């Protein structure tokens, strides 16, 4: 088992204890946060795994594949349009807001999220949103529509424009005529090289003082690998998840609560509250 040494004076995350470090230290903190579907589930976005994830009796894991798209693109697009609609109606929860706070406070920060929604983007703390360069959507962006045959793509940023584009049940590329598809990473597909390079580049810059992994089952090996690599030998690796995961054995801290419950207090214990 890999041993990760803790820094007992870095911050205190015991329940009810708030002992934030000096603000000047926070400005130099290097932080990595990894989030999964559990964070968005608290905003009402169903996860792929679980009874609430099923759509019209279809297993989402069987729809989010290239094979399913080739077999019935209309069905796949119907599902993704409903997902987009549901995400647009959802609001960021306290976990998203806490992460936005941490991003605005830490000296160096990167969020790697498995979520394809825009809730991290919309979340803010004291009017400040998470900067695009501080986030990597490792599984893609559901509001991106890209060609299945060439490099053409566009982003649906406004619901009104989306309604206009979605008159065509399965859109076709205006450049090459191939079918357009959601800009997400389906099961069986490789992660985007640009996204991997961004994560690897951050990890190569040095170890993190704090690594927080929240709301993910950590079933994909790269989640565990990145988290363990990022924390190095002297940082803290904090897992926030109601259930045990493959990452648990490496964590220096385990918080068995939903992210929306745990993260606000956790972040408050890491950063200095500017109102004090």
Q: What residue has token string 């647009």?
A: 88
Angstrom distances, CA of residue 214 to CA of 147, 149, 237, 248:
32, 35, 11, 11
DSSP code at position 65: B
Q: How open is the CA angle 106-93-110, to the nearest 5 degrees?
A: 30
Show Cβ contacts of residue 45 under 8 Å, excluding neighbours closer than 6 positions: 37, 86, 87, 90, 115, 117, 119
Name the catalytic one among 22, 120, 129, 139.
139
In angstroms, the Cα distances linking 246 to 72, 162, 191, 223 are 35, 39, 20, 10
Residue 139 appears among annotated catalytic residues: yes
Catalytic residues: 139
């Amino acid at each position: 088992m890999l041993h990760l040494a803790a820094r007992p004076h870095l911050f205190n995350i015991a329940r009810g204890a708030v002992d934030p470090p000096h603000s000047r230290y926070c400005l130099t903190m290097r932080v990595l946060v990894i989030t999964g579907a559990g964070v968005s589930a608290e905003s009402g976005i169903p996860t792929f795994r679980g009874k609430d994830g099923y759509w019209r009796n279809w297993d989402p894991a069987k729809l989010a594949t290239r094979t399913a798209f080739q077999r019935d693109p209309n069905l796949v697009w119907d599902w993704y349009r409903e997902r987009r609609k549901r995400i647009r109606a959802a609001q960021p929860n306290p976990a998203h807001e806490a992460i936005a706070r941490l991003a605005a406070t830490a000296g160096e920060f990167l969020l790697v999220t498995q979520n394809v929604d825009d809730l991290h983007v919309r979340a803010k703390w004291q009017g400040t949103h998470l900067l695009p360069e501080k986030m990597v959507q490792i599984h893609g962006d559901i509001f991106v529509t890209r060609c299945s045959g060439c490099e053409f793509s566009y982003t649906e940023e406004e619901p009104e424009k989306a309604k206009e584009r979605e008159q065509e049940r399965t859109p076709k590329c205006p450049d090459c005529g191939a079918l357009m598809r959601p800009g997400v990473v389906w099961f069986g597909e490789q992660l985007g090289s640009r996204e991997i390079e961004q994560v690897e580049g951050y990890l190569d810059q040095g170890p993190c003082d704090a690594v927080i992994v929240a709301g993910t089952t950590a079933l994909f090996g790269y989640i565990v690998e990145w988290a363990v690599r990022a924390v190095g030998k002297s940082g803290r690796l904090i897992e926030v998840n109601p259930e045990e995961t493959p990452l648990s054995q490496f964590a220096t801290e385990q918080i068995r609560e939903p992210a929306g419950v745990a993260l606000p207090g956790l972040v408050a214990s890491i950063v200095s509250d500017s109102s004090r």
